[in-house]
């Protein structure tokens, strides 16, 4: 693991909120294997068969044309595209196994693939909530505040493409206001919107502006990233396919993510859910490679299950964890970086939200995930971005980051001399071995309260969620925008004004 900055255990606010410093994370653990090699191949072959015999319904004309030109069997009437095994395997082989995504601040670049691990923030909820104001539709003021808190947490290494929907902004130009806020408030990487060519092209323009480069340089060193979903089962809509192609043409990475809830959008059995997820993911990877061989891609897995009594989606379940382990193996089979999520179905930031999130996070990290998307803030099956959950998840992610730090064993850390010096029945608080190390020996929590019951009670008997409420408010109050060249900022504002005018003019 490489560290950035001099302090091993992070920065603090004026009032002493401890946070881990930015770090590039490498997962030192061998990934868990839930599938045998034969089982991986059986799922792979089933996926090829789905693409060969059943095919995908493709609603975008541009995608259908590209697929036909590349040799897929296309039925224009039903919009069905089928790929033979050789074509699928040949196309997906072009996607790179590792790539770097460049942030405005080069120290915040992130690497996807191999054993690299990146934590991303929540993206996409329609609602926002906090303990004071309750649940409400997403709006632009909350959007900006939420992004500011994300900016103050180095453990959240990538913003997720808008942590909540600013429903109070006009739809046609909303993405411009979102991009401008993300570009100004953050110097780490942020995701853009992928539904259609306009969202993608405007994101590309913004990134060229803030990095001071042209589109060729951006293709060589990408900055734009977005999630592209299939409409499971086996349907790929027009805006998503157009967005995918536009991203690929510009060499910008796409997270190809079937959103597959077993029992509803896929077979109820996990093997079938994965075979279908895998077919849809490979289809998106293949299409991107038709558009531009070598276009960077991430294999997105989001197989969970529904409550079969009610149809409600469930997350952080045992099935979710098992699907994550298996998806990691599939992604590695293809040499693709793998994305998973920190998900929960809970409606409130309680013990359930925490244990479901932990299930999701451990399943992903033990499975060798490369991008933990929706890593901090997601609540209620992704319908709501919670300010308090952002803090709870940041604590969870910080702890996991520390679990990945290699173990040191040497003469000094074994400390036999200290054990001899203290002797049977003594204590180590005053030993020189302790005094030399105690400030940096252990992870210092952002949120956890380790005080005894009486002290905790006298201080208000607050739950972790109540404490998180104070923490995000403090981080927000102390937020400082990362510096931006005024000329860049002017160019960005000029661009947004121009594009809004163009869009208004139709």
Site for a second copy in 229-288 (CB under 8 A): 231, 233-235, 262-272, 275-276
Cβ atoms 30, 409 nearer than 8 A: no
> From the list 17, 35, 198, 240, which residue makes contact with a second copy (rule: CB under 8 A)?
35
How many residues line the site for a second copy (CB under 8 A)? Answer: 126
Query: Cβ atoms within 10 A of the Cβ of 383, count?
Result: 15
Cβ atoms 124, 161 nearer than 8 A: yes
> From the list 66, 155, 396, 475, which residue makes contact with a second copy (rule: CB under 8 A)?
396
| 408 interacts with a second copy by CB under 8 A | yes
Which residue lies nearer to a second copy by CB, 111 or 447?
447
> From the list 133, 355, 482, 494, which residue makes contact with a second copy (rule: CB under 8 A)?
355
End-to-end CA distance of the chain: 50
Binding part of the chain for a second copy, among 176-184, 332-340, 433-441, 480-488 by CB under 8 A, reads: 433-441
Which residue lies nearer to a second copy by CB, 271 or 488?
271
With tokens 């009486």, the residue in question is: 454
Closest CA to 404 of 434, 361, 374: 361
SS3 per-residue string spanning 78-131: CCEEECCHHHHHHHHCCCCCEEEECCCCHHHCEEEECCEEEEECCCCCCEEEEC
Query: Number of C-alpha atoms within 13 angstroms, CB side, residue 44?
Result: 18
Residues from 4 through 23 that contact a second copy (CB under 8 A): none
Residues from 444 through 473 that contact a second copy (CB under 8 A): 445, 447-453, 456-457, 461, 463-465, 468
Which residue lies nearer to a second copy by CB, 172 or 318?
318
> By CB neighbour count within 10 A (0-12 exposed, 13-18 middle, 19+ buried), where does 88 fall?
buried
> From the list 313, 328, 375, 377, which residue makes contact with a second copy (rule: CB under 8 A)?
313
Closest CA to 357 of 369, 368, 370, 346: 346
| 442 interacts with a second copy by CB under 8 A | yes
Cα distances from 282 to residues 234, 247, 275, 277, in angstroms, run 11, 16, 10, 9
| 37 interacts with a second copy by CB under 8 A | no
Q: How far is the CB of 97 from a second copy (least distance, A)?
A: 24
Binding part of the chain for a second copy, among 113-121, 284-292, 360-368, 474-482 by CB under 8 A, reads: 360-368
Which residue lies nearer to a second copy by CB, 144 or 347?
347
Cβ atoms 374, 334 nearer than 8 A: no
| 374 interacts with a second copy by CB under 8 A | no
Distance separating alpha carbons of residues 327 and 323, to the nearest angstrom = 6
Residues from 94 through 123 that contact a second copy (CB under 8 A): none
| 3 interacts with a second copy by CB under 8 A | no
DSSP state of 408: P
Binding part of the chain for a second copy, among 204-212, 215-223, 284-292, 404-412 by CB under 8 A, reads: 404-412
Helix (H) or strand (E) holding 391: helix 387-403
| 218 interacts with a second copy by CB under 8 A | no
| 376 interacts with a second copy by CB under 8 A | no
Residues from 149 through 208 that contact a second copy (CB under 8 A): none
**380 phi-psi bin (left φ>0, alpha ψ -120 to 50, beta other):** left
| 498 interacts with a second copy by CB under 8 A | no
| 348 interacts with a second copy by CB under 8 A | yes
> From the list 426, 478, 497, 501, which residue makes contact with a second copy (rule: CB under 8 A)?
426
Helix (H) or strand (E) holding 281: helix 270-291
Distance separating alpha carbons of residues 295 and 183, to the nearest angstrom = 24
Distance separating alpha carbons of residues 160 and 99, to the nearest angstrom = 18
| 416 interacts with a second copy by CB under 8 A | yes
Binding part of the chain for a second copy, among 64-72, 114-122, 239-247, 344-352 by CB under 8 A, reads: 344-352
Query: Number of C-alpha atoms within 13 angstroms, CB side, residue 169?
Result: 21
| 399 interacts with a second copy by CB under 8 A | yes
Q: How far is the CB of 483 from a second copy (least distance, A)?
A: 33
| 311 interacts with a second copy by CB under 8 A | yes
| 30 interacts with a second copy by CB under 8 A | yes
Binding part of the chain for a second copy, among 95-103, 156-164, 202-210, 406-414 by CB under 8 A, reads: 406-414
Which residue lies nearer to a second copy by CB, 117 or 275?
275
Which residue lies nearer to a second copy by CB, 54 or 213?
54
């Amino acid at each position: 693991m490489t560290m950035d900055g001099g302090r091993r255990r992070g920065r603090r606010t004026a009032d002493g909120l401890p946070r881990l410093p930015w770090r590039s994370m490498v997962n030192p653990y061998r990934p868990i294997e839930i599938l045998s090699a034969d089982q991986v191949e059986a799922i792979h072959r089933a996926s090829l068969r789905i693409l060969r015999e059943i095919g995908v319904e493709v609603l975008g004309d541009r995608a259908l044309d590209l697929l036909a030109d590349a040799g897929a069997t296309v039925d224009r009437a039903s919009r069905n595209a089928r790929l033979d095994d050789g074509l699928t395997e040949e196309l997906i082989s072009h996607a790179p196994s590792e790539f770097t995504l460049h942030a405005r601040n080069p120290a915040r670049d992130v690497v996807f693939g191999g054993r690299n691990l990146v934590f991303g923030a929540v993206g996409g909820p329609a609602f926002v909530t906090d303990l004071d104001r309750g649940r409400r539709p997403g709006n632009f003021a909350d959007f900006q505040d939420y992004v500011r808190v994300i900016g103050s947490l180095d453990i959240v290494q990538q913003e997720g493409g808008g942590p909540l929907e600013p429903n109070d902004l006009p739809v046609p130009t909303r993405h411009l206001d979102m991009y401008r806020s993300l570009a100004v408030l953050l110097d780490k990487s942020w995701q853009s919107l992928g539904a259609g060519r306009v969202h993608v092209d405007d994101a590309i323009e913004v990134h060229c502006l803030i990095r001071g480069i042209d589109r060729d340089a951006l293709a060589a060193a990408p900055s734009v990233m977005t999630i592209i979903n299939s409409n499971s089962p086996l349907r790929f809509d027009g805006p998503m396919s157009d967005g995918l192609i536009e991203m690929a043409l510009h060499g910008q990475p796409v997270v190809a993510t079937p959103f597959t809830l077993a029992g509803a959008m896929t077979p109820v059995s996990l093997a079938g859910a994965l075979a279908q997820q895998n077919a849809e993911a490979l289809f998106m990877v293949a299409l991107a490679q038709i558009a531009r061989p070598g276009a960077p891609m991430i294999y997105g897995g989001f197989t969970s299950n529904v409550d079969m009594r009610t149809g409600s989606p469930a997350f952080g379940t045992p099935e979710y964890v098992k699907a994550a382990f298996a998806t990691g193996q599939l992604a590695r089979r293809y040499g693709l970086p793998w994305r998973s999520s920190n998900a929960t179905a809970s409606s409130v930031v309680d013990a359930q939200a925490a244990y479901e999130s932990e299930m999701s996070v451990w399943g992903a990290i033990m499975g060798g995930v490369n991008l933990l998307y929706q890593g901090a803030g997601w609540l209620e099956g992704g319908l709501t971005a919670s300010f308090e959950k952002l803090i709870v998840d940041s604590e969870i992610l910080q702890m996991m980051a520390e679990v990945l730090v290699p173990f040191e064993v040497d003469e000094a850390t074994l400390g036999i001399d200290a054990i001899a010096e203290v002797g049977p029945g003594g204590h180590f608080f005053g030993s020189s071995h302790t005094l030399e190390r105690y400030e940096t020996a252990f992870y210092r929590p952002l949120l956890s309260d380790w005080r005894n019951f009486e002290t905790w009670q006298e201080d208000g008997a607050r739950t972790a969620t109540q404490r998180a409420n104070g923490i995000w408010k403090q981080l927000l109050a102390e937020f400082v925008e990362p510096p931006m060249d005024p000329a860049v900022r002017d160019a960005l504002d000029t661009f947004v004004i121009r594009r809004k005018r163009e869009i208004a003019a139709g």
